A and B are shown apart, each in its own frame.
Chain A
Amino acid sequence: MNEKTKQNLSTNAPITWCPGCTNFMILEAVKQTLTNFIDSKKFKQTDFAIATDIGCHAKIFDYLNISGLNCLHGRALPTAIGMKIGNPNLKILTFAGDGAVYSEGIEHLVHAFRYNSDLTLILHDNQSFSLTTGQPAPTTQQGYISKSEPLGVFDKPFNPLKIALASGATFVARTSARDIPHMVEIFTKAINHKGFSFVEVIQDCLIFNTEANNKEKFMYKISDCHNKQRAEKLADEFDYNSKEGKIPIGVIYQVMEPALEEKWPQLKELLENKKNWKSK
């Protein structure tokens, strides 16, 4: 337990991530971010709610003493949007993996950009399905050999940041699971963004697809970008396939557009009066 985090953000559940897993660092960064928000008195601990998907990342549900729903595989995003519709005053963090969002539930990601609901998606991208023992995910590099594709991955990985920009994202960021202060900075900006904020956390898996690990040497920090053309160039710098080129981390793109909760008069009213449906 770090002094930078509130003690009561933790639960008593034993942590079952592999020893040395970078998920520990993501958890720490989330706790520090939440602690800052709670200490600043802007929000109470009960104002936050999480929606977690299914996969290694989702174990974070058990380790955070926050309201929330541990959802179905691939469905954390629509569930989170629903949670926001049910009470737009909640601050919602969604945790999901590359398998969950880029594969099982990719349709929800594209539409989440369209709705622009005021919530944050923290996407743990280790370029593989790890909890199911290492099958390739949509961001896995070509040639990767696994038990489900022993002939090696034939297909090119897709670039989620480019999908985000093409889908009308209002906040796209990338950070590194090995850099807690950077994660805290980016998570804070994402939570403060009025609209749907998409944060991809590049993380290593120590057990599966280890050849995709250790990308820090390609990473460099950028200043916040508000220019779409520059954002597209930044997104193009890393193709998820090769071990060459640069990996920009930071806020890749941010623009202000009305959030779902401001567009719908019913939700706007609940938001302005700090009410939920029960007290409507």
Chain B
Amino acid sequence: MRLNILIGGKAGQGINKVSEIISNTLTRYGYFVFNYRDYPSLIRGGHNFNILSASEEKIESHDNKIDFLITLDEETEKIHLKELKKECQILSYKEFENEGRNLNIALAGALIKTLGIPIEELENEIKREFPDKPEPLSSAQKGYNSKKAVSNLKKIEKKIWIMDGSKAIAKGAINSNLDVYIAYPMTPATNTMHEIAKNQLKNKLMVLQAENEIAVANMALGASFTGAKTMVGTSGGGFDLMTEAISFQGISGIPLTIYLASRPGPGTGVPTYSAQEDLDIALRGGHGEFPRVVVAPSNPLEAIEKTNEALYLAEEFKTISIILSDKHLAESEFSTNEKIKKPSKIKISRALPGEKIIRASSYEINKELTTTESPEIVKQNADARTQKYEKIKKFIEKKFEMIKIYGNKKSDNLIIGWGSTSGAIKDAIKGLDCKFLQVLYIKPLSKQIKKEMSKAKNIILVEQNVTGQLGRLLREKTGISVPRKKRILKYDGKPFTRDELNEEIRKKLK
């Protein structure tokens, strides 16, 4: 079973509230949900919509074809007409116009009844959301009572939690006892900043908004140098501004973790939509040659765990860790019943300024920690950086999960993907004869990837960018190229949907 519910209206009409009530009610009822948010870059008006998918199996994607349409305005039905299944049920704002501000809650109530979920489940959720207000409850009940049940969902006993990627990155950082988070607002990275900032005093950390990303990255290096576990967050444009400081990290060896949530296009691009176009800059941003770690979680559980690993590696190896995400991971809500792995404890064992004389530099320096131009030392320092990367690589290979494999492990059809695209791939290959290799660590790359690629008879690359950036990297590292006709690349700002991707993959299977 899989239900796809589209909720649409204008910004400010409470679309996310409808999704939240339905998601919470469904997950407490034992169903997994996935909530995709689609909105333009404006504050009031326009057309926003969410696609909320629900299933008794774990899902990490939404569909293109809709079973239930909830409209909060006139436009929604017109805009999405083509996506509606024949048997699609429409719940319209017109039926509840007397509910005023609680229109959205009445519509949520109507849908819960349509799905055949008992009224107590809805009432409990509304009471949790609005403990002291009678109006939302009454609107929810009115909505509920106005409909007939068309399905009959049975309660399942499961403990399911919901989270979006932004909150997960924040949780991973807080679980790691982060001390300082510095950022400048930039969609889609900002929600992580908001989340960490919210309870900063309780969590004994500090969140500072600096004047720009250049200041952010340099301040972060300063704070890390004097002993704070420090992380920064940004999107592509802000990351570009940080790249000189990233290079400074490379030579100074001051630990730093960057959360990079990318968005589509060069320039300002399409700020509130999604793409995987910034893998190249994550791998190469910053002049000179120096080690780094790039890790790309695909869902909140991985985001929590990989953020901890990134912070751990940064401190342990005095390196830079980049956590690569995008709008689709940052702002979609995922549900799971899996438990979070215990975080690695991050210890600052280096001596700090204040304790003894500690010096670092953006210049090459000698053993006396003063500037040098000696060719011998310049070479020694470069060799030391290369050796450091080898150590990082060995450590990750031994300790952390670098890839995941899903589907039919014996299949000759190998799909390769990474990051937020993984959710749609995992869901799209259900029932197909193929294996999915998800790349989690992109720098360093797992040796297993070459083995899998060599074994496969048919390799299909799925990425949300124009040039197949992971594919290019794999060709460089393994010598194996995925032919153009075997690449499924989407670059219109909209993430893959399960049903569309399923069709695309079928066409490329052997």
Contacts and interface: CB of A to CB of B under 8 A. Distances in A.
* Chains A and B bind each other: yes
Given A266-B201, A278-B352, A83 B225 contact: yes
A72 B245 contact: yes
B221 interface: yes
A46 B355 contact: yes
Interface in A58-97: 59, 61-62, 65-72, 75, 78-87, 89-90
A108 B211 contact: yes
Interface string A1-27: 000000000011100000000000000
Contact of A89 (B215, B254, B354): B354
B354 A82 contact: no
A245 to B, nearest CB: 33
A54 interface: yes
Contact of B352 (A13, A75, A87): A87
A85 B363 CA distance: 23
Given A68-B359, A267-B206, A86 B371 contact: no
B370 A62 contact: yes
B357 A67 contact: yes
B362 A71 contact: yes
Contact of A70 (B214, B229, B363, B368): B363
A70 B222 contact: no
Contacts of A54: 362
A61 B371 contact: yes
B307 interface: no
A150 interface: no
Contacts of A66: 357
Given A11-B370, A278-B227, A85 B222 contact: yes
A260 to B, nearest CB: 9
B210 interface: yes
Nearest to A75: B218
A69 B206 contact: no
B251 to A, nearest CB: 10
B218 A90 contact: no
Nearest to B355: A46
Contacts of A71: 218, 248, 362
B403 to A, nearest CB: 34
A243 interface: no
Contact of B206 (A12, A13, A266): A266
Contacts of A108: 211, 215
B206 A87 contact: no
A49 interface: yes
Contacts of A81: 219, 222
B211 A83 contact: no
A13 B371 contact: yes
B94 interface: no
B204 interface: yes
Nearest to B220: A82
B230 A78 contact: no
B208 interface: yes
Interface in A258-280: 264-267, 276-278, 280
B362 A111 contact: no
Contacts of B205: 266
Interface of B: 179-180, 182, 200-201, 204-206, 208, 210-212, 214-215, 218-230, 244-245, 248, 252, 254, 348, 352-363, 365, 368, 370-371
Given A61-B359, A276-B354, 13 more contacts: A11-B370, A46-B354, A46-B357, A47-B354, A51-B222, A69-B252, A78-B215, A81-B219, A89-B354, A111-B210, A266-B200, A277-B180, A277-B229
Interface of A: 11-13, 45-47, 49, 51, 54, 59, 61-62, 65-72, 75, 78-87, 89-90, 107-108, 110-111, 264-267, 276-278, 280
